[in-house]
């Protein structure tokens, strides 16, 4: 072969190698994970906390997108509105997987949507990361392979509520637990039913006198009949699981009908949106209780992993840009932001580095590897997921809720005592609209 032919051959080979390298480089740069994000942006669930959950998740997703992604993978978020309807939630999840070709699904606010959506996503063999919905029925005895929930399970809400009241029964109400009259009311979806079961179990364990237990439809236009039953039952304490506007409707009609009680313990959802409670109820929102994972702005920074307080500040700054002047940043914002951060900072990089990609199996294995102690999340709790043999497979076994009370425009942690910032105001002070003093 002549020198000129050899040169041409070598040059051509070098060009081919360069082209392959360039193509490989371009392909590496094009690696991405496409995340389908499902929340309720319209309908009753939106105002009950879902829109705030969406905001928290989006703040965190946008942050990682601006950082350039994770371990060489770009992040693309595709958002969908479940419209506060289970059938729409399922259809949107299916559309995101089959048409938008997302790699996984994140979000989901309402338990009534989560229960069927989890089954559908499992059927589609896609990874599902639940930031919000708490019903035990989402996971209990289903042994799902690809569905994970870092969020607190609903069965813990009832335990927290009844333990809290039992602790103060004698001291504040002047009654032994067996003489304390309690009412359990709830919206009749998966969320309300699950939490009310926990309330009932906890109340029976504490020996409370359950004078009323009743559910209602979130879309009920009138709750005056329920208020009448509550008046007849004369409860010292009401445990209420609801969204909004049903909470507003109930308490407005309670005011009109002269319902009196010693304390109202709300259990997440609408009770976690203080600005809406204040706007609709005014001074009557004062001294209401709410059970939820702790607001990230109320956690003790010294108890957290050192990298988390700066993230909490970032989330707060970004939310203030979106909604300046909000009196209390809802726990819903930080809940979704923290759980989204957990996925992007712990699960995703491990799936890429250890298990080679972002398919459902790699993400599942990476999630099962997560092992964080208390203080390892912005919500204060740690993370370790139950295995498939567990009755609650995919549930974070280290998650726990706290009880806050709205006192003079501030949210104050009052239970458990290890997390409490102040003593609770119990019962309602004399002169309050609902006070039976």
Say how far apart CA 26 and CA 5 lie, in whole Å.
31
pLDDT at 12: 54
pLDDT at 174: 96
Closest CA to 109 of 87, 146, 141, 135: 135
Same-domain status, 213 and 338: no
Q: How confident is the model at residue 329 (pLDDT cuts 50, 70, 90)?
A: confident
Q: Which residue has the higher pLDDT, 245 or 59?
A: 59
pLDDT at 10: 47
Q: For residue 375, tell me if it sits in a domain.
A: no
The residue assigned the tokens 């009753």 is 44
pLDDT at 416: 87
Last residue of a domain, one of 315, 345, 369: 369
Same-domain status, 52 and 198: no
How does the average pLDDT of the chain come out, rounded?
91
- pLDDT tens digits, 189-227: 888 898 899 999 999 999 999 999 999 998 899 999 999
Same-domain status, 269 and 409: yes
Q: For residue 270, tell me if it sits in a domain.
A: yes
Token couple for 260: 């009196």
CATH of the domain at 173: 3.40.50.2300
In the predicted structure, residue 19 carries a pLDDT above the cut 70: no
The phi, psi pair for 28, rounded to 5°, reads -65, -40
pLDDT at 29: 54
pLDDT at 269: 79
Say how far apart CA 437 and CA 432 lie, in whole Å.
9
Closest CA to 275 of 287, 289, 285: 285
Q: For residue 388, tell me if it sits in a domain.
A: no
Same-domain status, 270 and 212: yes
Its pTM surpasses 0.85: no
Same-domain status, 224 and 259: yes
Same-domain status, 247 and 356: no
pLDDT at 26: 42
Name beta bridge partners: 105. 36, 128
Same-domain status, 166 and 242: yes
Q: Which residue has the higher pLDDT, 283 or 81?
A: 81
Range list of H helices, 300-412? 308-322, 331-342, 348-355, 360-369
Residues sharing a CB contact under 8 Å with residue 307, sequence separation 6 or more, in sequence order: none
pLDDT at 49: 87
Q: What is the mean pLDDT of residues 65-74?
A: 97
The proportion of the chain whose per-residue pLDDT surpasses 90, expressed as a percent, equals: 74
Q: For residue 390, tell me if it sits in a domain.
A: no
In the predicted structure, residue 352 carries a pLDDT above the cut 50: yes
Same-domain status, 86 and 179: no
CA atoms within 13 A on the CB side of 426: 26
Name beta bridge partners: 75. 33
pLDDT at 115: 93
- pLDDT tens digits, 139-169: 999 999 999 999 999 888 888 999 999 999 9
- Note the Cα 377 to chain centre separation in Å: 13
- pLDDT tens digits, 383-430: 999 999 999 999 999 999 999 999 998 889 999 887 888 999 999 999
In the predicted structure, residue 27 carries a pLDDT above the cut 80: no
Residue 310 burial (CB < 10 Å; 0-12/13-18/19+)?
exposed
* Domain extent for 405: 155-292+401-415
Q: For residue 437, tell me if it sits in a domain.
A: no
In the predicted structure, residue 346 carries a pLDDT above the cut 70: yes
Token couple for 84: 């506060």
Contact 269, 133 (CB under 8 A): no
In the predicted structure, residue 22 carries a pLDDT above the cut 90: no
Say how far apart CA 208 and CA 169 lie, in whole Å.
10
Say how far apart CA 410 and CA 222 lie, in whole Å.
30
In the predicted structure, residue 9 carries a pLDDT above the cut 70: no
Helix (H) or strand (E) holding 402, with range, is strand 402-407
Q: Is the peptide bond before 427 cis (omega within 30 degrees of 0)?
A: yes
Q: For residue 162, tell me if it sits in a domain.
A: yes
Q: How confident is the model at residue 318 (pLDDT cuts 50, 70, 90)?
A: very high
Q: Domain total for the chain?
A: 2
In the predicted structure, residue 48 carries a pLDDT above the cut 90: no
Contact 154, 134 (CB under 8 A): yes
Q: For residue 424, tell me if it sits in a domain.
A: no
Same-domain status, 112 and 241: no
Same-domain status, 266 and 344: no
Same-domain status, 43 and 138: yes
Residue 125 falls in which region: left (phi positive, over 0), alpha (psi -120 to 50) or beta: left
Least confident range from 68-82, 140-154, 259-273, 372-386: namely 259-273
Same-domain status, 308 and 334: yes
Q: For residue 396, tell me if it sits in a domain.
A: no
């Amino acid at each position: 072969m002549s020198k000129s032919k050899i040169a041409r051959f070598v040059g051509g080979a070098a060009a081919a190698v360069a082209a392959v390298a360039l193509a490989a480089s371009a392909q590496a740069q094009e690696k991405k994970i496409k995340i389908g994000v499902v929340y309720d942006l319209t309908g009753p669930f939106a105002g009950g906390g879902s829109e705030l959950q969406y905001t928290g998740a989006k703040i965190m997703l946008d942050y990682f997108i601006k950082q350039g992604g994770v371990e060489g993978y770009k992040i693309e978020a595709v958002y969908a509105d479940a419209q506060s309807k289970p059938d729409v939630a399922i259809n949107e999840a299916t559309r995101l997987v089959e048409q938008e070709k997302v790699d996984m699904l994140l979000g989901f606010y309402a338990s009534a949507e989560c229960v069927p959506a989890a089954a559908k996503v499992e059927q589609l063999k896609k990874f599902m990361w639940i930031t919000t919905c708490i019903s035990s029925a989402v996971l209990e005895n289903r042994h799902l392979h690809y569905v994970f929930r870092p969020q607190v399970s609903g069965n813990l809400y009832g335990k927290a509520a009844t333990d809290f009241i039992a602790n103060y029964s004698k001291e504040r109400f002047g009654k032994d637990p067996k003489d304390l009259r309690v009412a359990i009311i709830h919206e009749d979806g998966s969320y309300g039913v699950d939490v009310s079961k926990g309330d009932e179990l906890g109340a029976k364990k504490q020996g409370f006198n359950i004078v009323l237990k009743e559910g209602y439809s979130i879309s009920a236009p009138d709750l005056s009949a329920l208020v009448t039953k509550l008046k007849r039952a004369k409860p010292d304490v009401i445990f209420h699981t609801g969204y909004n506007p049903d909470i507003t409707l109930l308490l407005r009609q309670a005011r009109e009908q002269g319902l009196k009680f010693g304390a109202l313990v709300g259990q997440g959802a609408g009770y976690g949106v203080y600005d809406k409670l204040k706007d609709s109820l005014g001074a009557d929102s004062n001294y209401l209780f709410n059970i939820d994972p702790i607001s990230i702005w109320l956690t003790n920074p010294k108890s957290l992993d050192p990298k988390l307080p700066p993230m909490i500040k970032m989330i707060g700054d970004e939310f203030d840009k979106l909604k300046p002047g909000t009196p209390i940043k809802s726990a819903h914002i930080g809940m979704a932001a923290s759980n989204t951060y957990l996925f992007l900072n712990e699960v995703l990089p491990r799936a890429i580095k250890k298990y080679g990609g972002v398919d459902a199996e790699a993400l599942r294995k990476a999630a099962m590897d997560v092992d964080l102690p208390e203080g390892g999340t912005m919500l204060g709790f740690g993370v370790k997921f139950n295995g498939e043999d567990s009755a609650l497979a995919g549930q974070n076994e280290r998650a726990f809720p706290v009880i806050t009370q709205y006192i003079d425009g501030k949210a104050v942690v009052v239970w458990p005592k290890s997390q409490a910032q102040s003593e609770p105001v119990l019962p309602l002070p004399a002169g309050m609209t609902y006070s039976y003093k």
